[in-house]
Amino acid sequence: MSLHPLAGLPVPPERIPNIPRLVSDYYVRQPDLNQPEQRVSFGTSGHRGSASDSRFNEAHILAIVQAVCEYRDTQGIDGPLMLGMDTHALSEAAWISAVEVLIANGVTVQAQAGRRPSPTPFISRAIIDWNRRESAKADGIIITPSHNPPEDGGLKYNPPHGGPAGSEVTRWIQDRANTLLQSDLEDLNRMPIARALRNELYQEVDFLGPYVTALSEVLNMDAIASSGLKLGVDPLGGASLDAWGPIADHYNLDLRNVNPALDASFSFMHIDSDGKIRMDCSSPYAMKGLISLKDEFDVAFGCDPDADRHGIVTRSSGLLNPNHYLAVAIGYLFQERPDWPADAAIGKTLVSSSMIDRVASSIGRKLAEVPVGFKWFVPGLRDGSFGFGGEESAGASFLRKDGSAWTTDKDGLLLCLLAAEICAVRGKDPGELYQDLTQEFGTPHYGRANAAASAEQRKALSSLNADDVTSAELAGEAITAKLTHAPGNGAAIGGLKVCTENGWFAARPSGTEDIYKIYAESFKSPDHLKQLQQEAQELVSSVIG
């Protein structure tokens, strides 16, 4: 994809979104259910869209939350629902809609005191902590479209295991929500917000304080504090904004917040590679502000608006590629956590770098490769059979030091602070440690590209069998594996992965666009990567037509 001419530049005034109009559209616009894109649709991270496109409006949220209430009834979930939100402009409006429906349905709601933003990892940790102690099970909703542009809203549901809901659960909620919309919300229970906030079922709690004090159970905070490291953080105007000051104060860290702005237009950002405002902490274009300050800190970091993703900036390397940081983090953690279960595995998505495979082999740990989506790590992080779960899109979490569960959803703050721990203990930043890995295992060259595909071709790709691929060679090497199911858990990957000794590609259809995505990696050269990408497209085309 070509680079937009504004990529990496400050947001020009004419590109700042009209927030009052956006919020008005949330209440005024009604979805046209004859348009498939305006119906409720749960992807890998919940329902997302813009109010101005009639994809994320009051009717959608009322229907989804009513469906969640009914789902809870079918499952006997009778504890509190932990309600979090990020700082997108539509999040506050959707939060109000959610509270109106939850309280009217007799659900106890726990929300951050002062109606402040509360990140995804706070909610996941709070659910797990509650369900360890109480018999009445808790679950949660986080209102966030992750790192999407300011015009978008989003909502995701986390069941009592604390992590992202699986496809069976989201399909049930999605289908019931669309049925409610088709009936013009005939079965909706709703209470005006002023009454709901006075109801005894509405409880303001502190998600932040317990998270901060518990960090010492999962990280070596003493090592960070005693090291004297100069740390920098850019919350990117997100829900982690309230957390960094208390963390620094509680643990006596030399930590400077370089961007305390809270602005729903996110006009302080730099334009992403495609010309959009996007709070993507893994993008060197969006993160240009923090990257420009890298020499002022021993290590710096940032999170996306709901703080489930991390971006690590070092003096040695600038913004680390997420794959590079995952490999460093895994190598470090499995050597520095002696109380983790001896058989705890390393969880990775099948499109993450094979550098992780080589690190896993070198430290004698089992590697569990799963399909794309953090939900696949939930069982392992919950029962301790996974010490670490991470995906190529800069999301990860890992166990407490004693081997028990911390979060079963992505935790960006945790991975940011881990970078500081690594610096403190190893005396090198993660970028330097990654260079050490390349000296030992070789230098991988990783890329992602898109290829056109019709709806029929995307459907064919998602239902391939390994036997459909008859090729014996790829980019000059013998094919060693043809995968349509993930080796870590046997789940269908919804596409194809083909491996050779020094490279691989994976092809997955888009759920919303007439394209499929090609991920590829070569341990030989950039030219070999290009050859892999070209032959991958030719191979896929020969199979799906």
Largest CA distance in the chain: 69
Edge to edge, the sheet with strand 492-499 lists 445-452, 515-522, 503-509, 492-499, 481-485
Q: How many CB atoms lie within 10 A of CB 411?
A: 29
Cα–Cα separations (whole angstroms), residue 391 to 84, 99, 353, 356: 23, 32, 9, 11
Q: What number of H helices and E strands is found in the chain?
A: 17, 23
Assess contact for 180 and 398: CB atoms under 8 A.
Answer: no
DSSP per-residue string spanning 233-286: EE-TTSTTHHHHHHHHHHHT-EEEES-----TT-TTSB--TTSS----TT-TTT
**Which residues fall within 8 angstroms of residue 233, CB to CB, at 6 or more apart?**
244, 255, 256, 257, 258, 300, 301, 302, 416
Active site residue 146: yes
Q: How many CB atoms lie within 10 A of CB 257?
A: 16
Which of 146, 240, 353, 393 does the annotation list as catalytic?
146
Could you give the residue numbers annotated as active site? 146
